[in-house]
Chain A
Amino acid sequence: MKSADARATSDHVLIETAKGGDRRAFSALVRRYEDTVYRFALKVCQDPDKASETLQDTFINVFRKLHTFDGRSKFSTWLYTIVTNNCLMKQRRRKRDLLEESLEAFDEGPGGDRKEGHASIARWEHTPAHAVLEIELKQVLDEAIQALPPDYRVVFVLRDMEEKTTEETAKIVGISVEAAKSRLRRARAFLRSRLDPYMRAA
C-alpha cells in the first residue's frame, strides 16, 4: 500500500491490510492514532516521559494483537482499552501517585469532604472560560487531576475530556455502567473541590 493511498483509506481496510503483513498500512494506522494515544496518555499519566513510554507500549501491543481484533467494536474503542490498561499499569507502579484518601465522601456533596460548608457555595459564573489559557489556572487544573486516583482519573478523562459516552467509557475501562457513573460523579466533585479555592479567589 502506498503512503498516499493509506491516508485516504478507512480504518477497516488499513486494519485488514496490516493484518496481511503490510507494514505501510500499519504505519498509516500509527500516524492516524498516535496523537490520540499520546494526548490521552499525557492526561492520565501527567508526565511526558510516561506518556511517550505508554505510546510505545500501546502500539507494540496493537502490532502484536492486531490479528485478534475482530471488528465487533470500533477500532478506537479497542485502542483506548489497550492504552487505558497500559496507563493504569504504569500508574499503579507509581505508589506515590496512589491517593489513600477515599472519594466516597464526595457523594455527600459540599461539606462531605469537610473542606467546604454547605452554606457557602461560591458562585463561579463570573470566571471567564478563556482563563484556562492562563498558565496559573492550567497549573491548578493539572495539579487537581494529578491528585485524583488513577482509576477515577481515567474515567473522568474518557468521559469528560475525550467525550466518550458513559457506556463506551465503562466498556473501555472494563467496569459496569453504574460503576463508571459512580467514579465519574466522585471525580467531578473531587476536582470541583480542588478548584474551588482558586475559583473563589479569581
Chain B
Amino acid sequence: MASCKKVYQHICESLDEDLGTPRCRAIKLHVDSCPNCKAYMASLKKTIRLYRSMPFTRTPRAAHTRLLEVIEAEMKRQAGHAPAHRRRTS
C-alpha cells in the first residue's frame, strides 16, 4: 500500500496518466481508503478544472491591427532586401 507521501510524489500519474501501472494502482488503492488523500486529490482536480474553465480570450482589435502592421512592415523589409540577396547568390 502506498503512503500519503508517495501519493503526493506521484500525483501527476495518478491524476491522468499511466493509470494502469502497478504504482498507480497502489496509489489509487491508498487514495480510496484515505480521506485526506481523497480530499487532496479532489481539490487538485478542481484546481485544474477551474483553470480549464476560464473564458476563451480573443485577440483584442488593437493587438490584431498592430500585428498586421508589423507583419506588413516585415514583408516590405524582406522584399526590399530580396534583390540584394539574389545579387549575392548569382
Interface residues in chain A, defined as those with a beta carbon under 8 Å from any beta carbon in chain B: 23, 26-27, 30, 34-35, 38-39, 42, 48, 51-52, 55-56, 59-60, 63-64, 107-110, 112, 118-119, 121-125, 127, 129-130, 132-133, 137-138, 141, 145, 156, 160-161, 163, 166, 181-182, 184-185, 188-189, 191-192, 195-196, 199
Is A127 a contact of B36 with CB atoms below 8 Å?
no
> For A118, what are the chain B residues with a Cβ–Cβ distance below 8 Å?
4, 36
- Count of chain B residues near A, Cβ 8 A: 44
* Cα(A134)–Cα(B51), bound, Å: 13
Find out whether the CB atom of A129 lies under 8 angstroms from the CB atom of B63: no
- Decide if B8 touches A112 in the complex (CB within 8 Å): yes
Which of A108, A112, A122, A181 contacts B43, CB < 8 Å?
A: A122
3 closest pairs, A vs B, by CB?
A109-B8, A52-B63, A38-B59
> Could you give 15 example pairs across A and B, Cβ below 8 Å?
A27-B68, A27-B71, A30-B67, A63-B78, A109-B5, A110-B40, A118-B36, A119-B36, A121-B35, A129-B53, A132-B53, A163-B52, A166-B12, A188-B11, A188-B47
Q: Are B63 and A195 in contact (CB under 8 A)?
A: no
- A42 in contact with B57 given A60-B70, A108-B5 (CB within 8 Å): yes
B46 and A127 contacting across the interface, CB-CB below 8 Å: yes
Whether B43 lies near A129 (C-beta < 8 A) is no
* Number of residue pairs A-B, CB distance < 8 angstroms: 138
The one of A30, A109, A119, A129 that contacts B49, using a Cβ cutoff of 8 Å: A129
Once bound together, how far apart are the Cα atoms of A32 and B1, in whole Å? 50
Interface: B84 (CB within 8 A): no
The CB with the most chain A CB atoms within 10 A, among B46, B49, B55, is that of B46
A23 to B5 CA separation, bound complex (whole angstroms): 56
- Given A35-B58, A107-B8, A121-B39, decide whether A160 and B63 contact each other with a Cβ distance below 8 A: no
